[in-house]
Amino acid sequence: MKRYKQIIKEYSKELREVTHIPAKEVEILLLHLLEKNTIWLHLNYDKECSCEVELKKLVQRRAQEYPLEYITKKASFYGEMFKVQEGVLIPRPETEILIDKALEVLKDIKSPKILEIGVGSGIISVMLALLVEDIEIVSVDINDKALELAKRNAIKHKVEDKITFIKSDLFTNVPKEIKFDMVVSNPPYIADDYKLPKNVKFEPSNALFGGKVGDELLKDIIDTTLNKKIKYLLCEMGYDQKKPLNNYLSDNYKINKIEFYKDYEDFDRGFLLQG
Residue 213: per-residue pLDDT: 66
d(CA 211, CA 93) in angstroms, rounded, equals 24
Q: What is the pLDDT of residue 207?
A: 73
Cα–Cα dist 8/38, whole Å: 13
* pLDDT by 10s per residue, the chain, length 275: 899 999 999 999 999 999 999 999 999 999 999 999 999 999 999 999 999 999 999 999 999 999 999 999 999 999 999 999 999 999 999 999 999 999 999 999 999 999 999 999 999 999 999 999 999 999 999 999 999 999 999 999 999 999 999 999 999 999 999 999 999 999 987 767 777 777 777 887 777 677 776 789 999 999 999 999 999 999 999 999 999 999 999 999 888 899 999 999 999 999 999 98
Per-residue b or e along 173-184, where b marks 16 or more CB atoms closer than 10 Å to that residue's CB:
ebeeeeebbbbb
Architecture of 86-274 per CATH?
Answer: 3-Layer(aba) Sandwich (3.40)
Helices within the chain (DSSP H only): 4-12, 22-34, 38-43, 52-63, 68-72, 95-106, 123-131, 144-156, 216-227, 242-252
DSSP 48: B
State the maximum Cα–Cα separation within the chain, in Å, rounded to a whole number.
70
Q: Would you tell me the crossing angle of helices 52-63 and 22-34 to the nearest 10 degrees?
A: 130
End-to-end CA distance of the chain: 65
CA distances from 94 to 97, 98, 101, 141, 264 (A): 6, 8, 12, 21, 7
Q: At CA 266, angle to CA 264 and CA 272, rounded to 5?
A: 85
pTM of the model: 0.92
Residue 125, pLDDT score: 98
What are the backbone angles phi and psi of residue 114, rounded to the nearest 5°?
-120, 140
Q: Domain residues of the chain, as ranges?
A: 4-64, 86-274
Alpha-carbon distance of 139 to 257, in angstroms, equals 25
